[in-house]
């Protein structure tokens, strides 16, 4: 039967998916079915598959919620004296999006839902009247509204299932039961909050519409999401990728290999994105034009879009970059994980290993020699939930501060937080702890270089306290503390089972052995993202156009397939540039000849701005590839100089030793000014101790000590 199906697929014309032709239309082989079944078995212990009973509970809860919404919308119509002929049929509906809509939710996962109402229902009705209706409903627990969020939401548990419910009001008097949210006409006359609320459903539906086989897509996405969580790179908030970004990368892989099974798609995923030439964007379809003039991702129009490091563009209008939080450090970490994933899946498909190796957790607490321990504490559980949410949402600010320090090469945060130990934090009842791994850049020609982290951490804590104060969240007992520790001191903060050494299962980026290097771009680099991967492929100096995508080679050979991926780009020759748009700033130097020729060329022919990788990956094992990858992050960023802030003499190449120096007085250090806030009202970090200093007991938030290290040759 499988063989017959394969022959059928080979002989049938297929629908074209994506912005390029597929790399391979090869049907699955017998061994692919075996590998896929083994992949399923490897994922089962992690609870990624929901049983029929729990799935049935979700369907029942959503049905109850849908009925509740319809009932409430009729009540609002009657309250506003609408005719009974209108109120009885005005409609209203619950839509789902996110992992549940994609069909990849796990056991116990929440449901992202959208309440769509007709025009007589205001947003204030949703957050007041419907909120009160939910309060009175049996089975509703932990009800809370977050009205001032970027996408306003009501959160609650309904019969034990967590639901995040957003709201959108359409400019129509009656909503039909067969409402299609993918229709752009629904966006007319809507406020930006409604457009953001609709965006989740519209993007999810577009993704499902743009993949050739939904079941293969879902199984592959389950595997990739599980892998990303195990490797500590699943968190949009902390600068990695969130669920929708992982879904779009998997969807693009499915478009390139439309007939492949999940086991093959997982391998091809790592092949494609270990070779992708960032910051060229990932697109699932050609960008849509619209006369609605909504703000959309477009580097031709928006200069800030040219600086995004890892753009993955949503397929629904208005197109957005789902990865704007990605930083140089998080991108370097993810790219190395892609490369290591390719090595492991190569071994699996060759029968040298099994899928459990791919799903091994990262050795985050063995990777680095130096860590920043960030703690958030509060006096009550209710306050702590709010405080932790705010602090966690701002940690990427701290990572950005660290990256701009000229002494730091990599700053990686572990997405998992840990409860504080009772022995270490005796005065606080509720404590959460995060860990940031730090790699210091190497230097020479300096006997002793001082690395001062005080400003980096102080500006972060000021940002958090200022935000908490502005939204009236700050309560007595809420504190942030930061300390520098070495790897050997982590046992003071973490239990032994977390710290126990496992065999090396991810690239150790703390050694300087070799690998791609991130370099700062020059002025004639088209004002694009600040950094490029050198050694992964030749980069163009032209501004990547909006439709920059991977264009596979027509060759069918193995080598061509591996080198095809990445990347050819079409200049916008068939699209008119929007009127009154400023041209990107160019260097005062003579433009690169190829760029100049392209700019002057009147013909509509396309121009490749980057060429494929010139050599194939040599056969290797995870062990020797591991040695090659060791230390790539430190090498990857050792030449970064743009926007680096110096605390010490310029650093060049090699620290022989790091020595902690006891905390020193800041003296007349000036704090970051707080706009619109009196000095007496400003709430800054209480203290920034090194691990050698006791955690201060005073509740007064005054900077007393600094975190300073001396780097000796």
Binding residues for Mg(2+): 110, 112, 164
For residues 363 and 351, is the Cβ–Cβ distance under 8 A? no
- Compute φ and ψ for 403, nearest 5 degrees: -65, -30
Structure tokens at 377: 């504490």
Q: Which residue in 436, 393, 432 sits closest to 413, CA to CA?
A: 436
> Residue holding tokens 């490369």?
339
Q: How many CB atoms lie within 10 A of CB 488?
A: 8
Q: How far apart are CA 689 and CA 705, in angstroms?
A: 6
Are 314 and 199 in contact, with CB atoms under 8 Å apart? yes
The angle that helices 243-256 and 262-274 make with each other, rounded to 10 degrees, is 100
Three-state SS for 100? Answer: helix
| Cα distance between residue 296 and residue 309, in whole Å | 17
Whether residue 162 contacts residue 183, with contact meaning beta carbons closer than 8 Å, is answered with: no
Decide: 267 and 355 in contact? Cβ < 8 Å. Answer: no
Do the beta carbons of residue 228 and residue 222 sit within 8 Å? no
Q: What are residue 339's DSSP bridge partners?
A: none
Distance, CA of 352 to CA of 569 (rounded, Å):
37
- Catalytic residue set: 99, 110, 112, 164, 225, 234
- Mention every residue, 6+ apart, whose C-beta is less than 8 A from residue 90: 73, 74, 77, 82, 118, 120, 173, 174, 175
Phi-psi region of 631 (alpha: psi -120 to 50; beta: other; left: phi over 0): left
The answer to whether the CB of 704 falls within 8 A of the CB of 655 is no
Is the separation of the CB atoms in 636 and 515 below 8 Å? Answer: yes
Binding-site sequence positions for ATP? 97-99, 106, 110-112, 164, 225, 234, 243-244
């Amino acid at each position: 039967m499988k063989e017959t199906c394969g022959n059928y697929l080979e002989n049938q014309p297929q629908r074209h998916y994506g912005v390029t032709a597929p790399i391979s239309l090869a049907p699955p082989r017998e061994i692919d079915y075996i590998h896929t079944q083994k992949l399923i078995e490897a994922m089962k212990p992690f609870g990624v598959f929901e049983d029929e009973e729990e799935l049935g509970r979700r369907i029942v809860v959503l049905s109850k919620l849908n009925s509740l919404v319809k009932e409430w919308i009729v009540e609002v119509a009657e309250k506003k004296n609408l005719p009974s002929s209108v109120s009885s049929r005005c409609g209203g509906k619950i839509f789902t999006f996110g992992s549940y809509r994609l069909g990849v939710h796990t056991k116990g996962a929440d449901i992202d839902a959208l309440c769509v109402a007709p025009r007589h229902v205001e947003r204030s009705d949703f957050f007041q009247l419907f909120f009160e209706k939910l309060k009175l409903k049996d089975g509703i627990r932990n009800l809370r509204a977050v009205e001032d969020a970027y996408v306003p939401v009501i959160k609650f548990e309904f019969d034990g299932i967590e639901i995040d419910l957003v709201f959108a009001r359409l400019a129509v008097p009656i909503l039909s039961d067969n409402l299609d949210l993918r229709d752009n006409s629904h966006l007319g006359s809507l406020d930006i909050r409604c457009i953001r609320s609709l965006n989740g459903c519209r993007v999810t539906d577009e993704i499902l519409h743009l993949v050739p086989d939904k079941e293969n897509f879902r199984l592959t996405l389950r595997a990739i999401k599980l892998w990303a969580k195990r490797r500590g790179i699943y968190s949009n908030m902390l600068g990695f990728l969130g669920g929708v970004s992982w879904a779009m990368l998997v969807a693009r892989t499915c478009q390139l290999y439309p007939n492949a099974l999940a086991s093959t798609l997982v391998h091809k995923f790592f092949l494609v994105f270990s070779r992708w030439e960032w910051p060229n964007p990932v697109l699932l379809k050609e960008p849509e034009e619209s006369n609605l003039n909504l703000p959309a991702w477009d580097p031709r129009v928006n200069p800030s879009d040219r600086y995004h490091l890892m753009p993955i563009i949503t397929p629904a209008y208005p197109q957005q970059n789902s990865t704007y939080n990605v930083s140089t450090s998080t991108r370097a970490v993810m790219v190395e994980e892609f490369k290591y994933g390719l090595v492991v899946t190569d071994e699996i498909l060759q029968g040298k290993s099994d899928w459990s190796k791919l799903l091994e957790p990262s050795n985050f607490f063995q990777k680095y020699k130096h860590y920043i321990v960030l703690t958030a504490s509060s006096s009550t559980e209710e306050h702590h939930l709010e405080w932790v949410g705010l602090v966690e949402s701002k940690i990427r600010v701290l990572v950005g501060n660290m990256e701009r320090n000229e002494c730091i090469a990599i700053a990686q945060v572990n997405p998992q937080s840990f409860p504080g130990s009772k022995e270490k934090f005796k005065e606080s009842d509720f404590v959460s702890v995060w860990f940031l791994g730090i790699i210091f850049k190497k230097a020479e020609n300096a006997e002793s270089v001082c690395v001062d982290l005080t400003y980096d951490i102080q500006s972060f804590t000021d940002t958090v306290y200022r935000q908490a104060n502005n939204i009236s969240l700050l309560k007595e007992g809420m504190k942030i503390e930061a300390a520098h520790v070495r790897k050997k001191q982590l046992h003071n903060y973490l239990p032994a089972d977390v710290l126990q050494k496992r065999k090396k299962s991810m690239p150790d980026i703390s050694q300087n052995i070799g690998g791609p290097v991130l370099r700062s771009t020059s002025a004639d680099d088209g004002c694009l993202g600040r950094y490029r991967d050198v050694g992964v492929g030749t980069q163009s100096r032209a501004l990547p156009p909006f439709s920059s995508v991977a264009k596979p080679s027509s060759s069918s050979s193995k080598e061509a397939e591996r080198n095809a991926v990445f990347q050819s780009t079409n200049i916008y020759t068939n699209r008119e540039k929007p009127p009154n748009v400023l041209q990107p700033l160019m260097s005062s130097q003579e433009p690169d000849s190829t760029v100049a020729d392209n700019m002057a060329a009147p013909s509509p022919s396309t121009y490749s701005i980057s060429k494929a990788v010139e050599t194939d990956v040599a056969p290797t094992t995870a062990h020797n590839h591991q040695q090659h990858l060791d230390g790539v992050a430190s090498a990857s960023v050792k030449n970064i100089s743009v926007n680096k802030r110096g605390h010490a003499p310029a650093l060049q190449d090699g620290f022989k030793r790091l020595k902690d120096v006891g905390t020193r007085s800041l003296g007349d250090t000036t704090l970051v000014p707080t706009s619109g806030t009196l000095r007496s009202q400003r709430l800054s970090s209480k203290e920034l101790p090194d691990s050698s200093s006791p955690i201060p007991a005073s509740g007064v938030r005054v900077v007393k000590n600094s975190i300073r290290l001396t780097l000796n040759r």
